Copies of this chain bind each other. A is one copy, B any other.
């Protein structure tokens, strides 16, 4: 009856959201979601921030600037400074989660048919955003130390992918792999961006969630050390995983010329993100509440991660392969010889869910891979979930 545009003729929703229907089943244990732990939200700290924000009620209730409330942008500049990356307010655009930043950036940079590079496996919503923009996706493989910059260099050198417009990566505690890009690869990646003139999108929602190992400088911070590289990095950040997703407060930091165009696109897309939740975020950050509360989240995630890894080893032994992450929310595992979609069907019978790896690939997938999130379930549920994974594994083998 209707004539939909080509990406929507046979629309497919998020493969992860498809699993949500199982969450309401009694007794279901979920390793599937990308949600942060609800019981770790700083409910009282945010209540106080909201009270202070509403003292300027008109600022909360009226339209705000398209690029974000000035008070929030000041806090973001300070936070980025503490994270080792200097920037100024006009290099920052506040967005409705960092997801919106990606959408805006693709609109101003990517014409249909343009080549975009992505690490693989990769965050499914990014792959979907590329498809909606009708980009040609070229995947670059990753290993335990993040994106294979040597393979990227060979690809670019060969000219096989033309001049790509951009490259997408989550260099710190990647989704889904949990891997972190090694420091020398960071510099090499930036040098390639300068040489081949493509934008590196550094998606960094998890960087603060480190519970082991030593911190690394972000690509944005590292770019100050690589000649010309700041012209080619757009950094996405968000309060969703470190404060609360319900604020829908994310931001991007990038070259002024690109940011200015993203703001013009945002005027048409939604005029502005909610100044009310932006004001709450600004008050929360100004009070130092992030630094005060964050250690509670990272400590809890560290415990959960170790628990999941040891329970998986205990239950599945040599049958399962994975690398224990140093932060973030995800364990990326392989069960050689097993198809993860078959495993999921049996797992659902055992009342445990996870995300089969194929959701994270643009084309040919590693069928034996799966993503397990340890953020939301408690330690008891993690142990029981691992036992059920073993039962599902035995059933499918």
Contact = CB atoms under 8 A, between A and B. Distances in A.
Q: What is the count of identical protomers in the complex?
A: 2
B43 A62 contact: no
A292 to B, nearest CB: 17
B274 A247 contact: yes
Contacts of A267: 13-14, 17, 125, 128
Interface of A is mostly: helix
Interface string A82-99: 000000000000001101
A165 B3 contact: yes
B277 A1 contact: no
Among A4, A14, A59, A110, the one with the most B-chain Cβ atoms within 10 Å of its Cβ is: A4
A63 interface: yes
A66 B17 contact: yes
A41 interface: yes
Contacts of A11: 108, 260-261, 264
A38 interface: yes
Interface in A258-313: 258, 260-261, 263-265, 267-277, 280
Interface residues of A, number: 75
A155 B66 CA distance: 37
A271 B257 CA distance: 27
A60 interface: yes
Contacts of A365: none
A58 B43 CA distance: 8
A196 interface: no
A62 B35 contact: yes
A181 B108 CA distance: 36
Contacts of A261: 4, 8, 11
Contact of A108 (B4, B13, B47, B109): B4
A180 interface: no
Contacts of A156: none
A103 interface: yes
A64 interface: yes
Interface in A153-199: 165, 199
A5 interface: yes
A246 interface: yes
B245 A111 contact: no
Q: Which 7 A-B pairs have the closest CB atoms?
A: A61-B244, A61-B246, A248-B274, A96-B270, A8-B108, A43-B57, A63-B245
19 contacts: A1-B257, A2-B199, A2-B257, A5-B107, A5-B109, A5-B111, A8-B107, A11-B264, A17-B66, A41-B61, A47-B54, A50-B50, A61-B245, A61-B246, A97-B270, A99-B270, A248-B273, A274-B274, A276-B276
